[in-house]
Amino acid sequence: MSDVRDLLRPDLRGRSPYGAPQLDVAVRLNTNENSYPPPPEVAAAIGAAVTEAATGLNRYPDRDAVALREDLARYLGHGLTTAQVWAANGSNEILQQLLQAFGGPGRTALGFTPSYSMHPLLASATGTGWRDGGREAGFALGAGHAVTQVRHHRPDVVFLCSPNNPTGTALDPEVVEAVLAESHGLVVVDEAYAEFARPGTPSALRLLPGNPRLVVTRTMSKAFGLAGARLGYLAADPEVVEAVQLVRLPYHLSALTQAAARAALAHTDVLLSDVAAVMRQRDRLVDELSALGLEVAPSDANFVLFGGMADSRAVWRSLVDRGVLIRDVGIPGWLRVTAGTPGEIDVFLSALSEALKEYP
């Protein structure tokens, strides 16, 4: 009898599944979730919408999720129409569908690490070759560097991430335009954290007219505080939306998910009302971490990357021992912390000061 491990695709053997530790500690600031749960009136509205949808669960859901896409197009603005928007179970599924349709065996995707770690993992899972263009000093990504990498690798898909995870920094819009001009393939701008960007930071959405190879991905997991609902989406040319429908599973988005997301979107203002509080804690983290003598990457997101620790792994462990979970993103000397509530950031900062006494 053959071993299951021998049956596994050779390129998957020996790999570990993606996953930040889900430890049961008091303060969880490791996955860039929103620390503010939906307020009771929104939770009740979502519950009522799900109950209503439950009465029709004998039928498959709307395969094309038209009403939800209409709502998402309205939320995004920029004159977008339903035909330009597509939704799935988290933006991870959106990114996977894009690679299934536009990447695949014999094709390549280019990213600029450190960036969102799922980009290369999804490339690998879809058999797409991964090319790393790297970043410049201080994790910067300028148009010159990006264009040189695109020219060198000639990728079928380019991943840009703005604000970038894990560094937090928003891209200069020039970079997207320069990459679009230089590349022949799909240019995906992952804007999972767009709602936290500092005022005046333009979204790549405004570049969609006249750029049919541009795709902007978004999620309700972060600013909307609905990571548990699993709802991500994209905005692009209608032909991109038609293309991903070739690879999506039929009825991929359950009637419950569609109903929950629509009910949440009807309360957009309430759900986004905590974004300002999160941004204040983000800015506070930048100030206080700098005051502790640490290096801090400028952030337009709901998290901050900080460095200058001789043994960041030991600091991370010492924080866990103090009931605070943040993220070791695999950059030696650096750690990433999510901007939570003021109380959570108080606990984090005092635990960090203690940990740094032990491991300066």
Binding site for ligand PMP (CB under 6 A): 32, 90-92, 116, 161, 165, 190, 192, 219, 221, 227, 232
Nearer residue to ligand PMP within complex by CB, 46 or 355: 46
d(CA 171, CA 33): 21
CB of 112 to ligand PMP, least distance (A): 12
Type and span of the H or E element at 324? strand 324-325
Minimal CB distance residue for ligand PMP: 90
| 80/161 with CB nearer ligand PMP | 161
Tell the smallest beta-carbon distance from residue 222 to ligand PMP (Å). 7
Which CB sits closer to ligand PMP, 189 or 207? Answer: 189
Q: What's the closest the beta carbon of residue 270 comes to ligand PMP, in angstroms?
A: 20
Q: Which residues contact 353 (CB under 8 A, 6 or more apart)?
A: 292
φ/ψ of 215, rounded to 5, equals -130, 130
User: Which of 32/97 has CB closer to ligand PMP?
Assistant: 32
Q: How far is the CB of 268 from ligand PMP (least distance, A)?
A: 17
Tokens 């190879």, located at residue? 213
Residue 113 vs 318, nearer CB to ligand PMP: 113
Residues whose CB falls within 8 Å of the CB of residue 137, separated by 6 or more in sequence, listed in order: none
Shortest separation between residue 19's beta carbon and ligand PMP, angstroms: 11
Helices 66-76, 255-265: axis angle to 10 degrees equals 30
End-to-end CA distance of the chain: 54
DSSP of 141-175:
--HHHHHHHHHHH--SEEEEESSPTTT-PPPPHHH
Based on CB atoms, which residue is closest to ligand PMP, 288 or 328? 328
Minimum CB distance to ligand PMP, residue 357 (Å): 31
**Minimum distance from residue 253 beta carbon to ligand PMP (Å):** 13
Q: For ligand PMP, give the closer residue by CB, 90 or 103.
A: 90
Task: Please report how close the Cβ of residue 232 comes to ligand PMP at its closest, in angstroms.
Answer: 4
Looking at the Cβ atoms of 190 and 288, the one nearer to ligand PMP is 190
How far apart CA 223 and CA 302 sit, in angstroms, is 8
Helices (H), the chain: 4-7, 40-54, 66-76, 90-102, 118-125, 143-153, 173-182, 238-244, 255-265, 268-271, 275-291, 312-321, 342-358
Q: Are the C-beta atoms of 214 and 180 separated by less than 8 Å? A: yes
